[in-house]
Amino acid sequence: MASGNGSNFEAIVQAVQSGRLGADIPLLVVNNKNCGAHQRADRFGIHVEVVDHRDFPNREALDRQLVGLFQSHRVDVVVMAGWMRIVTDVLVNAFPEQLVNIHPSLLPSFRGLDAVGQALHAGVSISGCTVHIVTADLDAGPILSQAAVPVLSSDNHASLAERVQKQEHILLPATLQQNAHRWRQG
Ligand code: GAR
């Protein structure tokens, strides 16, 4: 699942293609039709479903649509690779321990929106990214892995975000591979 640029989605695809991640990617779900993630999936020939949150009366209805899609594709694990919507119990309970998120901070610091901006504002000297299991509590589920990066006094939002993202692109595919035994149906 992705909402924006899709660089983490592409990192997963490249890990699969290079044999670092043993997985099949049956579909990408995007909520913004023209997002970069959609274009990247088209380039790789990966099936895309557009599920636009603006077409649903509430978050639960959106998540019901997602659950139906993922069940019809018989997925073992769902990855939120820059999915910028709050998910509900509907999705979490349909995929218990099978819903994974990447977040651009060292959780439990800086949950929620603009974690990079929050880190800069707080003046921390180390930040990073976290891969975690999604629960009903926002950005608070069990942590699978983290990577740290320095925050430099010269940093602005773009430079710190870029440093964090470089680590995300390594951490997310590696974490999926390390935890694959949790999800394979055999
Ligand atoms: C990533 O940095 C990811 O950690 C963040 O969105 C970015 C998506 O980039 N996710 C969140 O903030 C979730 N709360 P991408 O579209 O290039 O992968």
- Residue 29 sits in a domain of what CATH number? 3.40.50.170
What's the CA gap between 18 and 139, in Å, rounded?
A: 30
Low-confidence ranges of the chain (pLDDT < 70): 185-186
Q: What angle do CA 172, 173, 175 make, to 5 degrees?
A: 65
> Is 142 inside a domain boundary?
yes
Residues paired with residue 131 on neighbouring β-strands, in sequence order: 102, 145
Catalytic residue among 38, 73, 103, 157: 103
Residues paired with residue 102 on neighbouring β-strands, in sequence order: 131
The DSSP call for residue 2 is: B
> Is 58 inside a domain boundary?
yes
> Is 122 inside a domain boundary?
yes
User: Residue 57: its pLDDT value, please?
Assistant: 98
Strands (E), the chain: 28-30, 48-50, 78-80, 99-103, 126-133, 143-150
What's the CA gap between 5 and 81, in Å, rounded?
A: 10
Whether 103 is catalytic is yes
Residues in Cβ contact with 91 at an 8 Å cutoff, skipping those fewer than 6 apart: 63, 66, 67, 78, 99, 134
Q: How many CB atoms are closer than 10 A to CB 74?
A: 8
Beta carbon of 173 within 6 Å of any ligand 1 atom: no
Beta carbon of 4 within 6 Å of any ligand 1 atom: yes
> Is 164 inside a domain boundary?
yes
- Global pTM reads 0.97
For 160, the domain range is 7-181
What's the CA gap between 45 and 63, in Å, rounded?
A: 25
User: Residue 184: its pLDDT value, please?
Assistant: 80
Identify which of 8, 9, 31, 113 to mutate to test ligand 1's pocket (most ligand atoms within 8 A of the CB): 8
User: Residue 49: its pLDDT value, please?
Assistant: 98
> Is 137 inside a domain boundary?
yes
> Is 77 inside a domain boundary?
yes
> Is 176 inside a domain boundary?
yes
In angstroms, the Cα distances linking 176 to 48, 76, 100, 159, 179 are 21, 12, 9, 26, 5
**What is the 107 CA–ligand 1 centroid distance (Å)?**
14
Residues in Cβ contact with 82 at an 8 Å cutoff, skipping those fewer than 6 apart: 2, 3, 4, 5, 6, 7, 8, 9, 37, 102
> Is 2 inside a domain boundary?
no
Number of compact structural domains in the chain: 1
